[in-house]
């Protein structure tokens, strides 16, 4: 970092990134919350395929991560961090516009559908799936900017993993308020069977206007680039970003992390129902609430290295998952959220260490690992069916924790630098 860069006050840009992280978390969870309502509105004539089509909403979102991560990296090289953020937010507005169009089209053309045997799927549902992919692409591009920027922007009294934890806290706030937005604001607290497709239009239009205002404000904010963290326009890299072993294994580690995080968050309710636990929804709430608390704690850890944090949290999470299996007790899994909370920041910080100008490109390929959030929960469901119990399927979480522990102790050691 040059003397001139040291004089830059990054507090404003830092707070901007934290706010954008909140938006990403909010939209990610809001998207999944539409599965139930859309199952009741769009998919009334799908028959036994309702669940399959409903889960495509989440799948199409996560599909954007491996496909669009490289786009974010190339845009950073071409347009810089600020230019990429603005373009990413315009992509988000387009995606929200597709959400709006899906309900408008279905209201205007209620008989427009595609028939698959005895099933009938409204064309508006496929427009919604496209919107889910496009907004997911926007979230991917934003994170390709946010993660390396939070890592590299020097804010006095903080270290990289601490700044990512603060961003993660904002992300958790977004994921916490999103369900209330969907159920309370969008659908006004109505029961699933009373929800109408027409109710989707105005909230999505309001979100489009809100994001447009954010773009307007962002265009007027100072958001300096951080030299040495991206490839300059026209510059070519001497070697593949995949040649850095600690980054490649970091992508594998984030695949495991996002996978096991979503495994618990998405499937703990089903495990609780199998065990006849009272208030199954409460378990998921406690799990995500634990992540919020853990990130608040993590944001205060200014002197504990990412390697130590990842080592302690993976061991703790693995032990809790093992105890949950031994005692066949889903309540033990809720505490795992406390330890999953800071793993993203720890893995990302270790993965981009000493990458220099390769950092922004690395952030793009890092997003490939997020697809674990679509694959591992699906595999867990298959195992639960084959084993006729959710109890033993949690070994997939333990395996993920073991790999992340390996990454913390061995895989994250830097053997090759960008210099």
Q: With a cut of 50, say whether residue 209 has pLDDT above it.
A: yes
* Burial class of residue 205 (count of CB atoms within 10 Å of its CB; 0-12, 13-18, 19+): middle
What local confidence, expressed as pLDDT, does residue 6 receive? 53
Q: CA angle, 335 as apex, 257 and 351 as ends, to 5°?
A: 25
Give which of 36, 143, 30 is closest to 85, Cα–Cα. 143
What local confidence, expressed as pLDDT, does residue 379 receive? 85
What local confidence, expressed as pLDDT, does residue 1 receive? 47
Instruction: Say if CB 255 and CB 369 are below 8 A apart.
Output: yes
pLDDT in tens, 265-282: 878 888 888 888 877 768
User: Phi and psi for 46 in degrees, rounded to 5?
Assistant: -90, -15
What local confidence, expressed as pLDDT, does residue 234 receive? 56
Whole-prediction pTM value?
A: 0.77
**Residue that wins the pLDDT comparison between 244 and 112:** 244
**How many CB atoms are located within 10 Å of the residue 184 CB?**
12
What local confidence, expressed as pLDDT, does residue 3 receive? 46
DSSP 360-397: HHHHHHHGGGGGHHHHHHHHHHHHHHHHTSSTGGGHHH
What local confidence, expressed as pLDDT, does residue 206 receive? 85
What local confidence, expressed as pLDDT, does residue 406 receive? 97
Average pLDDT rounded to a whole number, residues 215-223 = 84
Q: With a cut of 70, say whether residue 104 has pLDDT above it.
A: yes
Q: What percent of the chain has pLDDT over 70?
A: 85
**Residue that wins the pLDDT comparison between 154 and 349:** 349
Average pLDDT rounded to a whole number, residues 84-110 = 90
The tokens describing 332, both together, are 């033990």
Give which of 32, 50, 49 is closest to 41, Cα–Cα. 50
Q: With a cut of 70, say whether residue 8 has pLDDT above it.
A: no
What local confidence, expressed as pLDDT, does residue 257 receive? 96
What local confidence, expressed as pLDDT, does residue 40 receive? 65
Average pLDDT rounded to a whole number, residues 337-364 = 87
Give which of 260, 252, 288, 247 is closest to 373, Cα–Cα. 260
Give which of 309, 343, 320 is closest to 268, Cα–Cα. 320
The tokens describing 76, both together, are 């950073």
The DSSP H or E segment spanning 50 is helix 50-108
pLDDT band at 50 (very low <50, low <70, confident <90, very high): low
């Amino acid at each position: 970092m040059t003397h001139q860069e040291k004089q830059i006050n990054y507090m404003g840009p830092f707070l901007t990134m934290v706010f954008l992280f909140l938006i990403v978390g909010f939209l990610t969870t809001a998207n999944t919350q539409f599965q139930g309502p859309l199952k009741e509105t769009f998919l009334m004539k799908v028959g036994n395929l309702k669940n399959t089509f409903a889960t495509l909403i989440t799948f199409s979102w996560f599909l954007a991560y491996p496909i669009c991560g490289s786009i974010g990296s190339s845009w950073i090289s071409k347009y810089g961090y600020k230019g990429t953020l603005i373009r990413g937010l315009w992509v988000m507005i387009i995606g929200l516009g597709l959400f709006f169009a899906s309900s408008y089209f279905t209201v205007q053309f209620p008989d427009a559908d595609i028939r698959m045997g005895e099933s009938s799927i409204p064309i508006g549902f496929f427009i919604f799936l496209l919107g889910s992919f496009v907004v997911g692409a926007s979230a991917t591009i934003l994170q390709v900017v946010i993660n390396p920027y939070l890592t590299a922007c020097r804010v006095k009294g903080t270290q990289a993993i601490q700044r990512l934890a603060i961003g993660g806290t904002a992300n958790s706030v977004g994921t916490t308020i999103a369900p209330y937005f969907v159920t309370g604001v969008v659908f006004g607290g109505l029961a699933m069977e009373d929800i109408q497709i027409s109710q989707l239009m105005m909230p999505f239009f309001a979100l489009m206007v809100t994001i447009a205002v954010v773009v307007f404000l962002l265009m007027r904010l100072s958001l300096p680039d951080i030299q040495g963290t991206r490839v300059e326009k026209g510059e070519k890299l001497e070697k593949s970003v995949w040649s850095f072993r600690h980054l490649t294994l970091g992508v594998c580690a984030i695949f495991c992390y996002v996978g096991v995080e979503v495994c618990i968050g998405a499937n703990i309710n089903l495990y609780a129902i199998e065990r006849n636990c009272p208030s199954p929804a409460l378990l998921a709430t406690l799990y995500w609430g634990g992540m919020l608390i853990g990130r608040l704690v993590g944001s205060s850890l200014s002197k504990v290295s990412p390697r130590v944090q990842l080592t302690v949290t993976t061991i703790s999470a693995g032990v809790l998952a093992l105890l949950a299996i031994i005692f066949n007790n889903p309540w033990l899994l809720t505490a795992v959220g406390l330890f999953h909370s800071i793993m993203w920041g720890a893995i990302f910080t270790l993965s981009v260490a000493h990458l220099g100008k390769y950092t922004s490109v690395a952030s793009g390929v890092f997003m490939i690992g997020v697809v674990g959030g679509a694959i591992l929960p699906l595999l867990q469901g298959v195992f639960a069916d084959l084993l006729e119990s959710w109890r033993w399927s949690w070994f997939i979480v333990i395996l993920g924790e073991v790999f992340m522990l390996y990454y913390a102790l061995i895989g994250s050691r830097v053997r090759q630098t960008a210099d």
